[in-house]
Structures are given as structure tokens and as C-alpha cells.
Structure 1
């Protein structure tokens, strides 16, 4: 029987009703008992490292979770992290960069309905996380609603459905049936080195969603505020407006000294700066293409990259380096 460590961080799965609304109160063993998970799946031990609503999660907490998970992997066969759903995809993405070349699984999960409430999805999700954490499939993953997804490819897509997460621009890694049968959908990623904890990061990063009519001066204001990197959620495959209100000009002013990543507001698809004239202009201005990364991967990878370098070209290289399967670059551009 595999030995699995459950690290709890709070979230809906750990919440109980209070006068102030749902509040994380349950410890990891309480969650396990209330969820009614079969103890014969694995030999389980528990450790609470946080107990917060995941909207309160901060980059310092990602570093803590990464260090606890990496330490646990020295002793256990796999790690399960229970987490609130609101920022779970950000945590899963950052752990994918901080925990490199894993030979064992680290699986994040949570619930849309608290473990102690009727019709909770905590049982299904926690059971599935344990099943996959007991496999030999190394890396960082998310278990939710019968799907196992690569951590750096996962995004929350619903605030109401129990099937709240999708795998973006990447196949679901595995499916788990109602009766607990695990079916793999992709092959394990070939490791490029030994397992490594690389928890360096720097957080002054801003994600800006573009809208028609946006004032270009916002770029300069963000630089003045001390942000060290920007991610612009552009239109379509990387459209950066320059007519009447010239955002492109403002990007060009700072792109040589501050990394600016262009991602898309469309959940599925790729940023292709070579397809349209408007994208070519952005590329010439020095913008960095996110290609098919999720917004969560863009934000966390830029923070992680800034922890390793302040040079824009170094950061461009790191952003376009495939660390954990988070990015696919067309062969003609690689």
C-alpha cells in the first residue's frame, strides 16, 4: 500500500457554516472522515499547513506549499494538497515550476461543496486525488470531477458546477470512473534531470485585461508603481490596439527594460503574433508571446522567471522554455 501525505490549506472543502458565511475550520483528518474516503486506498498521514479561504492565498504561501510537498516526497510515495478552488489553478501552476522533474505525483484537489454538507463533491475529488497520488505518474496535477489534469494547464471555468475546472490546450491526463477505475489518457513526461525544488520568485507582476478604449497611459503608471513585469490579456490571438489610443507605443517604450507578455482573453487557442499585422507590430515592439499558456501559468511563470533574472532577454528565454508542459511553441518559431 502506497504512503500518501495529505497537506491541507483550507478552502471550501474545509469550510463550515458560521454567522459570517462559509469559513475554513476543518483539519485534514476531519475532511477525510467527513468525506468518507476509503482508508484502504492508501496509507494516509495528515499535515495542516494553512487553513484559509484560497482568495487569501499569496505567493509566499506557494513557496511554503512547494517546500512542504518537496520535503514530503522524500518520505512518501505521493502528496495530496487540499485547496480552495478560487486560486487552485494559480497554486498548481506555480508548483509546476517550483517542483521540477518529479518522479512522484503531487495532486491538488478541493470541493465546490464543503466536506460536511450533503451532496458534497469532496468524497469524489479526494478519493480520485488519492488514487492518482498512488500511481507512478510524476508531476503536479489537479484532480477534479473525475478528471486528472496537468497542474500548469488547469483553469477554473465555473463558480457553480462541480465540474469546475478544464484542461486548457492540453489533453486530460487521466479519467477516473464513478467506481474508481483509473484510465490514463496520455503518457508520462520524460524527465530531464533529478527532482529539484526551485522556489525562487518575485511578485510585482500585473495582469491587465484590455478593453476597447483603454487609456495607454496605464502602462507607464504601472511601471511607476514598481511592477517588474506585465501580462496583457489581448484580443484574439494577440491584438494590441494602436489606433486613436496607442497602447502599442507605450509598450514599445518599456519593453526593453521590463518584460511584457501578451496572452489572450480567449480560454482556448494560441497567441500568434505572426498571423496579423497588428501582432507583428507588437512583436517588433518587444512583446513576449504567451503562445498557448493559461493566464494562471503566465502570471506564475513570470513571477518565477523574475526570481531568476531581471534581464528581459533572459526572462523571454525562461518564458519560452517548456518547464513542465505548460507551453507549446510552433516548430517554425522554436
Structure 2
């Protein structure tokens, strides 16, 4: 059983410097500090492609990571990607759209405490990722605090706590205890030839709806961006009283895709529930359903990488591609 670890940096690879923690360690060094042998029932090999704090990760880096995964798929039984936690959920979602029908487990993991610090969670998370990567479940996943979660359903919900990630609107896939894997939910197994489709348009803006948001600001953003993710309240809707944001949204949505997600963690968007939501639908808003904010943003970038036609983007956004959205009906 051969497993590849792809290193990209992050807290898991960080060491203390005069200016704070900074990604510095290679994947080999991480394994050594974690006390994980490269011949321990698994044959573990490593490849370092980046060494960045994940705050610095950009869409172009998702392509770099995707390329590394794609070129190694046929040579390994599983792949583990070590990554910083701040943008890990964006990377796992982006990879899920770019890499489809992956025939082996591809598992992202990281840590909230650097591997160089006492009581770091890095060894625990690495072992969880390696255990799952050796079990042959095809697809893209995230391993954190003994849990395995689908890559398109993960969000970071705590900035400091060790149990920083949760699966949103979707069950956990499995958990690992004492080196044993307990499967909780089996996602649909990808079928067909592996597809690496890295076309992305990063000119997408995420706007959080707040009381008093200026229609003029929204219109200005709509002029130069290629698409907008609007993070609304609750089940979704656009205000039109006093400041008529709805009219501004309607003008932009006629030319460019405007996708609505929600500030609520669970439940997703249902624009048919309230009058303000139905008005938003009539204005041309594309509902994100129960997708995470991370999946919504990366999917819109990926959709726009293939077409600028609003109707075609709508069809892509409403179609389940990698388990990111619960189909309607």
C-alpha cells in the first residue's frame, strides 16, 4: 500500500519565528516530528509543492495542487495533502470540482497547533488521514479530529479550537479511533474516466448582506466583477425598503451571475419560503441551496471558467457535481 503526502505548508508545517509562526517544515520533517515512520505497514512517500500560510493560498495554487494530485493518481493507493486550516475548505471544494472521478482517496488535513509545539493535534490528524487514505474510498475528503468529511461539505467553524471543522448539511463519512475506521456514510462512488478540469475565473466577489448595504456599492462591484456570491440572511431574500438593493441586484443579475448563500451555518437557502426570497428569485438570483459558502464561491469560479452565459452558469450551480448540493425534489 503506497501513500503519497503532498506538502503545501500551513500551521502543520510551521515553526516559531520572531514574527510569529511561519510555514517552514517539509513533509518529511513533519513525519519525523510526528513520529510516523515511512515504512509502517504503509509505504509513505512525500512531495513538497508549496510551503505557504494558507491565508496566502490563491486560486492558481489550487491548480498547482490539482496538477500534483492528477499526475500521481496512477502511482499511489491514496494521497494525503497537508494544508493550512484557514483556506483548507476552499481548497478541498475547488479540488472536488477540478478533479472528478478520482479513483483513490485524496485526503486533506492540517492542524490547529504547529507540529513543533507540545500537544499539537498534527500527529493525530495525520494518522487519521493516513488511515482513511489506505482504505480505498475514492473521492476528495478532509480529515480532522478523528473525523472524515466530504471535501465539498466542510467549513471551518472555530478559529482556535482543535475541533475546527464540521460537515455542513451532510453526514460525516467516517471516524477513526485507535487506528480503526468506522464508516458512517458511504457517498456515491465516482464513475468514469478521471477528469482534470482546472479552468477557473477568480474574478468573483463574496459580499455579506448587512443592514444599510448601499445599492450603489453593489452596482459598482457588479460592473467589474464577473460574478457575485451574496451571503444573505436566513433562508434568503433581498431588502428593497428605503435602500432598494433589489433593483440593483436585478440590474446586475441580468448580465452576470449573482448567487445567494446564507449567513446561517445550517439549513441552506430556500428562496420560495418568504416574499423577500421570491422577489429575489424574480430578480434573477441563483440560489445556492444547501452548499457551504466555500463550495458556492469555488463552484462559481469554476463555472465561470467554462462559460459567462448566466443561464449556463445557473444550470451548473444548481446541478450536483461533487456531492456539494442536495438535489431539489
User: What range is the shorter-chain TM-score in?
Assistant: over 0.9
Q: Which residue of 2 aligns with 1:174?
A: 174
Trace 1:171-320 onto structure 2 (pairs within 5 A): 171-177=171-177, 179-224=178-223, 226-320=224-318
Instruction: Provide Cα deviations, 1:49-95, integer angstroms capped at 9, x if missing partner.
Output: 00010000000000000010111112111110000000000000000
The runs of 4+ residues in structure 1 deviating greater than 3 Å are none
Shift of 1:41: 4.4
Listed one character per residue, the Cα deviations across residues 258-304 of structure 1 (whole Å, up to 9, x for unaligned) are 00000000011120011111101000110000000000001100000
Match of 2:67 in 1: 67
* Native 8 Å contact 2:140 2:150 kept in 1: yes
Unaligned runs of 5+ in 1: none
Q: CA deviation at 1:38?
A: 4.7
* 1:83-98 superposed matches below 5 A: 83-98=83-98
Structure 1 contact 175–184 (Cα < 8 Å) conserved = yes
Q: Distance in 2 between matches of 1:277 and 1:31?
A: 53
Structure 2 gap ranges (5+):
none
Aligned to 1:263, the other structure's residue is in SS state strand
Count of residues in correspondence between the two structures: 328
Partner of 1:6: 5
Residue in 1 that maps onto 2:319:
321
User: How far did residue 203 of structure 1 move?
Assistant: 0.5
Q: Within 1, Cα distance between the matches of 2:290 and 2:208?
A: 17
Quote the RMSD (CA, aligned, Å).
0.9
CA distance in 2, matches of 1:169, 1:254: 30
Query: What is the rounded CA distance, in whole Å, between the counterparts of 2:159 and 2:250 in structure 1?
Result: 37
Q: What TM-score do the two structures reach when normalised by structure 2?
A: 0.98
1:231·1:298 contact (CA, 8 Å) conserved in 2? yes
Distance 2:191 2:148 in 1: 22
- The residue correspondences of 1:20-59 to structure 2 (distance < 5 A) are 20-39=19-38, 40-59=40-59
